[in-house]
Amino acid sequence: MNQTPPPSPRDAIVEALMRLAAKQPWDSIKVTDIAREAGVSLAQFRDLFPSKGAVLGAFARKIDRQVLEGTTDDLAEEPVRERVFDVLMRRIDALEPYKPALRRIADGVSGEPLTIAALNQVALNSQRFMLAAAGVSTEGPLGLLKLQGAVLVFSNTLATWLDDDDPALARTMARLDRELKRGERVLERAEEVRRLTAPVRILGRALFGRRRTARPQTRERTQDGDTTDPAAAI
């Protein structure tokens, strides 16, 4: 009889955090609690994660992977909004088992600006891949606007989803559709402003030139090669 292999220590820690978050306030969860719940030593925890916030960042990447592994080309010919809608709803589906934990986490971090800023960076990284899965490029002058817009669209939709106990998620889908339409309008206006100001930018470059300075590569890297997780400070 085939047996399911036990989760890796990393996965065990991620799942342990989410189980604890479903039962107790975010600010009451200590790294020792997570290690005990996961069945790992504190030394093992430290080797894998620098903080409980970093574990939350790993949870976001786990959801990223689940969505990306389920991405196909079935909607390749559909309008952009439909493709983005599909990807973000699949992300919500992936989050469904963790809804009680996410409710408590959302309540726990709502009044902490530094935590919100760190989680926003995690969300930007996730939405970069969500938009890529929908066939939306985030390169170029408006790339960051698209990314931050996607973060706002999804976070506003999540606020509705957390209070939506209807299995059909009608309110959640309606909110996502409204948010995507609003985002499209903002992006269209931004593109129009950029088009209208193009002559000014060209003139400015001709008159003053552009200085380019190399930035030293000082960011730390984790053991697996990724830049330091912005959630690690939480």
Domain ranges of the chain: 9-206+229-233
Q: Is 203 a residue whose pLDDT tops 50? A: yes
105-157 per-position pLDDT tens digit: 999 998 888 889 999 999 999 999 999 999 999 998 889 999 999 999 999 99
| Start-to-end Cα distance in the chain | 43
Name the average pLDDT for the chain: 87
Q: What is the DSSP letter of 221?
A: B
Domain 9-206+229-233: state its class: mainly alpha
Estimate the crossing angle of helix 99-109 against helix 113-133, to 10 degrees.
140
Banded pLDDT at 187 (limits 50, 70, 90): confident
* Cβ neighbours, 10 Å, residue 55: 28
Distance CA 81, CA 99 (A): 25
Q: Is 86 a residue whose pLDDT tops 70? A: yes
Looking at residue 191, its pLDDT comes to 77
Distance CA 92, CA 102 (A): 11
Q: Is 217 a residue whose pLDDT tops 80? A: no
37-51 per-position pLDDT tens digit: 999 999 999 999 999
pTM, rounded to two decimals = 0.82
Beta-bridge mates of residue 221: 227
Contacts of 60 (CB under 8 A, 6+ apart): 122, 123, 125, 126, 231
- What percent of the chain has a predicted confidence (pLDDT) above 70? 84
